[in-house]
Chains A and B, each alone.
Chain A
Amino acid sequence: MTAIELPARPGRTPGLTTAAGQVALRALRKYLRTPGLCVMGVVQSALFLFSFRYVFGGAIHTGATRYVDFLVPAYVASIVLFTGGGIAVAVATDKAEGFTDRLLSLPVSRYALVLGRTAADSTTNVWSILTTAAFGFLFGFRLPGSWQDGLAALSLCVAYAVVFTVVFVVMGLYAPSAQAAQGMSLIAFVFAFISSAYVPATSMPGWLQPFAKYQPITPMVDAVRSLLGGSTSDVGLALAWSAALVVVLAPVAVIRYRRP
């Protein structure tokens, strides 16, 4: 066999946005080209919503508010906690299959790896949020206030999507295997369920109520409900929790990429 002529050497290393863009593009392509990811995620979130709305909903008392109006804002706000396990699994799989090694052996900023991954998964999560919101309306949800209030609430849900993405990326990076990542992501279910999202926290036994009250998901979903009603109560606390999670966890992810 004759000698191989290699292409010219690149004159520089890739910039942060170029590298993050390539990482994100690949993750998005994988998502869009894997029917199990882009279709099943939507089907799953619709089935969960259907079950809560029509199966459990009748047994849950939410006072003067219709259950569907109680449920849907919280469900849209926390949907990523249910679908985000896929992010952790994808990140852990990249690590196990050598894809992460390839990336780490390239002259690429470690920030770009976290940024690209987060950007791609946040985008797919926004897709989950929008489709879930659409199913919410289909199953009988109606905006209590103006459409501007609705938009403000939706924007907050999008911000949460980014926060939860970082959480699941970190889980995937620290999980020893894809199966372990799947298992770890079930922790998110605990936070989603033991909160004010699906039932009023006051209906839980007394010993459980402090956890439900002080963990971040409760103020986060309460803030979305407030915005829909034209109020801003809990929004400050929700944003503080969101910022704290990102500020703590994003560097943790970068550190993991730096010292694999």
Chain B
Amino acid sequence: MTSPASPPLIDAHELTVRFGTVTALDGLELTAQPGRVLAVLGPNGAGKTTFVRCVATLVRPDGGRLRVRGHDVVREAASVRRDIGLAGQFAAVEPTMTGRENLEMTARLFGHGRSAARRAAASVIDQLRLADVADRRTAGYSGGQRRRLDLGASLVGSPRLLLLDEPTTGLDPVGRSEVWDAVRALAATGTDILLTTHYLEEADELADHVVVIDHGRVMAAGPPNELKASIGQDVIDVAVGSPELLPAVARILEHVTAGPARLQPGRQHVTALAPGGPDQLAVVIGRLGDASIAVDEIGLRRPSLDEVFLVLTGTGRVDSKRAGPAMPSLTAAGPAGGSS
């Protein structure tokens, strides 16, 4: 299935979708090869969900072309549907039915006969470790269990391409790690996976290939490491002993790097992209000394996917002359706002 002669997993050319006056996808170009976990990353409103819905044949493009495993999503929608499994932002399971009933129903709708549907459901229950709750109505499931069942429902037909639209949005950390484990296990079987997320950490954890989109266009694409290298800047990362020091450190970083500084949530760290590399690091160390600010740790490192994302989507560009403490802004819209 993944021989060089096989068509790309996804082949989008000038893909355009409009909803009234809103352009959700604006000439999107994307080619993805099979055999990898592909993450589509972008802020809310970037067009991620619209893109997945196009791949799932739920939205018809207004312009351009989209092929999934060589099949056109409009003219050969039936062929595309035979190849895909969709698990959405909302766990689309029937709450008044048990997990097993949900899976057997979906298996029948994928085309399995009665006994094959029973076997497929049993196998998925077993593999996704849902045996304890399989015969209970899903209304009583935890968020993570429901999401795993939803994932299972997309698997009973053994899709060649699994589409996961924000698979962990709204889950607590336990639920998120349960879903991550399941996705990793699936990737290990060779199922092609396309997932959308606005959690950078999720893309970094799960994907071999990341496509950053914003305003319906691809901003950058590549393996996470290449993306991190592509912005060509390192990050100065300063850790301090007490939170009162953070605003002063942030001001120094912003002054030296002429860019925004960021408070890393939950940790007493301030970071800033340093176009000047080690020279700027030296200046920062000098300024911190002048101001008699004691730091726990200071260094230059490769940017995280967070930082790459913020640079690419423009949400990281704030007015560097702005006084006062730097704003914490990671997965939120960011100080520049307006991107969603």
- A, B bound: yes
Nearest chain B residue, comparing its CB with the CB of A32:
B96
Question: Is the beta-carbon distance between A10 and B57 smaller than 8 angstroms?
Answer: no
Sort chain B's interface into a size bin.
Answer: 35 or more
Which residues of the partner chain B approach A99 to less than 8 Å between Cβ atoms? Answer: 92, 94
Partner of B182, one of A4, A12, A30: A4
Which residues of the partner chain A approach B158 to less than 8 Å between Cβ atoms? Answer: 6-10
One digit per residue, 1 when the CB lies within 8 angstroms of any chain B CB and 0 when it does not, for chain A 7-46 equals 1111111100011001101100110011000000000000
Question: Is the beta-carbon distance between B96 and A97 smaller than 8 angstroms?
Answer: no
Interface residue stretch chosen among A104-112, A132-140, A155-163, A183-191: A104-112
Question: Is the beta-carbon distance between A106 and B157 smaller than 8 angstroms?
Answer: yes
Report the minimum CB–CB distance from B298 to chain A (whole Å).
38
Question: Is the beta-carbon distance between A107 and B81 smaller than 8 angstroms?
Answer: yes
Interface residue? A260 (CB, 8 A): yes
Question: Is the beta-carbon distance between A98 and B78 smaller than 8 angstroms?
Answer: no
CA distance A3 to B153 in the complex (A): 17
Report the minimum CB–CB distance from B148 to chain A (whole Å).
11
Find residues 88-113 in chain B having any chain A CB closer than 8 Å to their own CB. Answer: 88-92, 94, 96-97, 101, 105-112
Nearest chain B residue, comparing its CB with the CB of A94:
B92
Interface residue? B84 (CB, 8 A): yes
Question: Is the beta-carbon distance between B109 and A103 smaller than 8 angstroms?
Answer: yes
Partner of B58, one of A14, A26, A260: A260
Which residues of the partner chain A approach B111 to less than 8 Å between Cβ atoms? Answer: 10-14, 107
Which residues of the partner chain A approach B106 to less than 8 Å between Cβ atoms? Answer: 102, 106
Nearest chain B residue, comparing its CB with the CB of A11:
B111
Which one of A99, A101, A260 has the highest number of Cβ atoms from chain B below 10 Å of its Cβ?
Answer: A101
Question: Is the beta-carbon distance between B56 and A107 smaller than 8 angstroms?
Answer: no
Question: Is the beta-carbon distance between A29 and B112 smaller than 8 angstroms?
Answer: no
One digit per residue, 1 when the CB lies within 8 angstroms of any chain B CB and 0 when it does not, for chain A 71-103 equals 000000000000000000000000001110111
Report the minimum CB–CB distance from B35 to chain A (whole Å).
14
Interface residue? B300 (CB, 8 A): no
Top 4 nearest A-B pairs (CB, nearest first) are: A10-B111, A7-B120, A98-B90, A3-B188
Could you list which residues of chain A lie within 8 angstroms of chain B, going by C-beta atoms?
1-14, 18-19, 22-23, 25-26, 29-30, 33-34, 97-99, 101-108, 259-260
Could you list which residues of chain B lie within 8 angstroms of chain A, going by C-beta atoms?
53, 56-60, 78, 81-82, 84-86, 88-92, 94, 96-97, 101, 105-112, 116, 119-120, 123-124, 127-128, 137, 153-158, 163, 181-182, 184-186, 188-189, 191
In addition to A2-B185, A101-B86, A105-B86, 6 A-B residue pairs with Cβ atoms within 8 Å of each other are: A13-B78, A23-B109, A33-B97, A105-B57, A105-B163, A107-B111
